[in-house]
Amino acid sequence: MVSQITDITNMVGSVYEKIETLINGFEDIVQKSDNTTSHLDSVKRISEDQSSAMNEIAQSTAALAEMSVDLKDAVSKFKY
């Protein structure tokens, strides 16, 4: 009887260790998932900033093109 109780105790200890290993694995997965989410948020913010900058550049380019036409028209008035 004592031997059976010892065997059961050993099995329970083994199961407990395996459960701890699983818990540690799940905690690692959660941490890596959180890190991935954080990095994705950073990439999203950077992409949005870059898109905004590109829009500003496009608007500035259009304004410069318009100024160039105006300048060309103004210069052409002074030609002989």
Query: pTM, whole model, 2 decimals?
Result: 0.61
Whether residue 79 is predicted with pLDDT greater than 80 in this model: the reply is no
Give the residue among 51, 48, 69 at the shortest CA–CA distance from 59.
51
Q: What pLDDT was estimated at residue 43?
A: 98
Phi and psi dihedrals of 70, rounded to 5?
-60, -45
Residue 2 CA to residue 6 CA, distance in Å, equals: 6
Q: What pLDDT was estimated at residue 77?
A: 87
Give the residue among 28, 8, 5 at the shortest CA–CA distance from 16.
8
Q: What pLDDT was estimated at residue 80?
A: 58
Read off the pLDDT of residues 42-71 as tens digits, 9 standing for 90 and up: 999 999 999 999 999 999 999 999 999 999
pLDDT (mean) for 30-49: 98
